[in-house]
């Protein structure tokens, strides 16, 4: 194991020394020491459960001084965040931007930026000054948003900018970004990188956490790898490459990112013919515009496209939980079906692993057991009661087959890592015995090791004859896991590519509307 202290004492803003944090039965951090250089971008990476979040919660005051062992030196003095720990961290100049944004949707950008610290004149708020100060801040850091814009009308990228502006309004000297690009488009991600470079020029120190390893090599000056609560190495980014980083993270050499399956697609199981659907809240807005494709047993069909291309709207409509179908047909196993709800879809043999597992896939406060069995309770119902033993046995079988790592089935889902939460979502839908399994960004927000496990599971399911539709925002994932790729553009299928012919360039040409290949749309 390595821990190369790459900074000298004079240029260190944060010196984390021998920090250990324990929970009942679990050591989350063990003797962690990291030096963070002033005015640099320091990457922190590791698998889910490696200790990244715990360390950030200590730095941002969620876990106050006294709740952990060790010492943190900040700006040359020991950092002791006590009673008002979170507020105190902000006052000290340490701010965190979480993956789940914390803005008030009904308020404007300016109101959010200065929430709780509005400039007061007389008996009221000086709105002119509030918006002028907001504009000054946005201009200084090249944040391209309007102070008077309502948060609820902004895209995720601009919301992220507002969160950063909130932190800068507190004179943050250390800015922690936790998975900041998980919901951003490529263009929004590049804009964020430009903002971080601007912050660096202004002397702001950034701690950057992401599962998207490639991002480190475009933005980070140095990288620390955590594994099982321990520091494995801290090195200048220029000394590392993707393979080295992954090996440090997982503790073993990974010779391939995408496991090779032995699936052999069979007969057509699902046909979608000229499907049109409208937004359920805006009936004049068509979101699916004449999509045609088929899906074979044992096949993984990748769906690619830019954000807003209609990928999620298409699969949610097929699943009965989004658009109102105005034209076209869906045929399953040779029979035309009418799906108006997720319950209808389940009865027909269609299941969906949603894009946002925390909001739409899980009841986080409920146990692993209850989450797995929730959509399948009719399997255990007998004489107006649930057969608890049958429910437990069935849930345990799926938890073991998917290797869900949890102390027991009775712990709440919010205590699990992202990869294990995703396995719980998949388990509950596999229990429903689907013929077609739709997976919308199935590896979003999970680490490289957990991704590999999900990929192997997908291969196993396809080899058993389950037909899989996989939406992914990562082109490498689409190319690595699909048998065919359908590309969406503005609510339409722009083309279908056999995997042997598919490249990132061809997919992007179709996704942006530069090229079109309707002739293969139902191949």
Query: Would you say 485 and 304 are in contact if contact means Cβ atoms under 8 Å apart?
Result: yes
* Residue 476: Cβ within 10 Å count: 12
- Residue 247 domain-assigned? no
Identify whether 118 is part of a domain: no
Give, in degrees to the nearest 5, the angle at Cα 368 between 362 and 371. 40
User: pLDDT of 73-103, one tens digit each?
Assistant: 999 999 998 866 788 998 899 999 877 678 9
Q: Check whether residue 266 and residue 365 sit in a common domain.
A: no
The per-residue pLDDT for 10 is: 52
* Regions of the chain where pLDDT drops below 70: 1-10, 83-84, 100, 183, 252-255, 516-523
**Of 400, 433, 466, which one is at a domain's C-terminal end?**
433
What would the two tokens of residue 23 be? 């929970």
Q: Give the side-chain half-sphere CA count within 13 A for 521.
A: 19
| SS3 label, residue 326 | strand
Which two three-digit tokens encode residue 406?
């949890």
Question: Are 449 and 47 in contact, with CB atoms under 8 Å apart?
Answer: yes
Regarding whether 438 and 421 lie in a shared domain, the answer is no
On whether both 464 and 495 belong to a single domain, the answer is: yes
Token duo for residue 357? 């597992």
User: What pTM does this model have?
Assistant: 0.66
**Residue 429 placed within a domain:** yes
User: Which CATH number does the domain housing residue 458 bear?
Assistant: 3.40.50.300
Q: Is residue 299 part of a domain?
A: yes
294 and 441 co-located in one domain: yes
Residues 407, 477 within the same domain: no
Is residue 207 domain-resident?
Answer: no
Q: 519 and 370 in one domain?
A: no
Contact indicator for 276, 491 with CB cutoff of 8 Å: no
**433, 466, 481 — which closes off a domain?**
433
> How much is the pLDDT for 254?
60
**Burial tier of 341 (Cβ tally within 10 Å: 0-12, 13-18, 19+):** exposed
pLDDT at residue 12, as a whole number: 93
* 406 and 514 housed in the same domain: no
Which pLDDT does position 430 carry in this prediction? 86
What's the CA angle centered on 500, arms 287 and 309, to 5 degrees? 15
Give the helix, strand, coil percentages of the chain, each rounded to 5: 35, 25, 35
Residue 470 shares a structural domain with residue 520: yes
Note whether residue 64 is domain-resident: no
- Residues 418-458: tens digit of each pLDDT: 778 888 998 988 888 899 999 998 887 777 777 888 898 89
What's the confidence (pLDDT) of residue 113? 94
Task: Quote the CA–CA distance of 235 and 395 in Å, as a whole number.
Answer: 43
What pLDDT does residue 8 have?
Answer: 46
Question: Are both 396 and 327 inside the same structural domain?
Answer: no
Q: Kindly state whether residue 307 falls inside one of the protein's structural domains.
A: yes
Give me the pLDDT at residue 5, please.
Answer: 43
Same domain, 397 and 439: no
Q: What separation in angstroms does the CA of 278 have from each of 10, 132, 325, 354, 369?
A: 61, 41, 7, 20, 36
Residue 369, in any domain of the structure: yes
Domain that holds residue 384: 361-433
Q: What pLDDT, on the 0 to 100 scale, is given for residue 4? A: 44
Counting runs of H as helices and runs of E as strands, what totals does the chain give? 16, 24
Of the residues 414, 433, 452, the one at which a domain ends: 433
Count Cα atoms within 13 angstroms, Cβ side, for 400.
6
Structural domain total, the chain:
2
Are 370 and 510 in a shared domain? no
510 shares a domain with 441: yes
CB 229 within 8 A of CB 30: yes
């Amino acid at each position: 194991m390595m821990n190369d202290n790459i900074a000298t004492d004079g240029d260190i803003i944060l010196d984390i020394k021998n920090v250990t944090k324990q929970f009942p039965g679990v050591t989350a951090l063990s003797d962690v020491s990291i030096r963070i250089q002033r005015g640099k971008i320091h990457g922190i990476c590791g698998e889910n459960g490696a200790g990244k979040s715990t360390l950030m919660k200590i730095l941002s005051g969620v876990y106050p001084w006294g709740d952990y062992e060790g010492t943190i030196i900040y700006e040359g003095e020991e950092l002791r965040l006590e009673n008002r720990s979170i507020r105190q961290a902000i006052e000290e100049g340490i701010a965190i931007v979480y993956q789940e944004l914390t803005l008030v949707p009904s308020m404007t950008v300016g109101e959010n930026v200065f929430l709780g610290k509005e400039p007061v004149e007389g008996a009221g708020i000086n709105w002119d000054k509030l918006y002028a100060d907001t504009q000054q801040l946005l201009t200084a850091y090249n944040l391209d948003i309007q102070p008077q814009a309502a948060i609820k009308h902004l895209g995720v990228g601009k919301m992220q900018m507002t969160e950063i502006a909130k932190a800068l309004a507190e004179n943050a000297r250390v800015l922690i970004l936790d998975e900041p690009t998980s919901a951003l488009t490529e263009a929004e991600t590049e804009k964020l990188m430009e903002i971080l470079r601007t912050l660096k020029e202004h002397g702001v120190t950034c701690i950057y956490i992401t599962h998207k390893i490639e991002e480190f090599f475009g933005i980070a000056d140095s990288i620390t790898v955590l594994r099982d609560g321990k520091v494995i190495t801290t090195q200048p980014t220029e000394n590392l490459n993707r393979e080295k980083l992954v090996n440090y993270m997982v503790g073993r050499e990974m010779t391939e990112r995408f496991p090779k399956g032995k699936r052999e697609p069979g007969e057509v199981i699902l046909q979608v013919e000229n499907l049109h659907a409208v937004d359920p809240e805006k009936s004049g807005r068509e979101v699916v515009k004449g999509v045609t494709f088929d899906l074979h047993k044992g096949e993984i069909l990748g769906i690619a496209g830019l954000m807003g291309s209609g990928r999620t709207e298409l699969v949610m409509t097929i699943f009965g939980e989004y658009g109102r179908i105005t034209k076209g047909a869906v045929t399953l196993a040779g029979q035309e079906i009418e799906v108006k709800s997720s319950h209808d879809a389940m009865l027909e043999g269609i299941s969906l692993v949603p894009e946002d597992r925390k909001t739409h896939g899980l009841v986080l406060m409920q146990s692993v057991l209850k989450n797995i069995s929730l959509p399948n309770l009719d399997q255990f119902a007998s004489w107006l009661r649930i057969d608890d033993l049958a429910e437990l046995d069935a849930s345990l079988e799926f938890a073991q087959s998917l290797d869900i790592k949890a102390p027991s089935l009775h712990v709440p889902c919010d205590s699990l890592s992202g990869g294990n939460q995703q396995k719980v979502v998949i388990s509950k839908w596999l229990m429903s015995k689907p013929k077609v399994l739709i997976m919308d960004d199935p590896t979003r927000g999970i680490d490289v090791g957990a991704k590999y496990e999900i990929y192997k599971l997908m291969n196993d399911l396809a080899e058993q004859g389950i037909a899989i539709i996989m939406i992914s925002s990562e082109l490498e994932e689409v190319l690595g896991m699909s048998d065919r790729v359908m590309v969406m553009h503005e609510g339409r299928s722009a083309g279908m590519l056999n995997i042997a012919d598919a490249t990132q360039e061809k997919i992007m040409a179709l996704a942006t509307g530069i090229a079109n290949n309707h002739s293969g749309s139902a191949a």
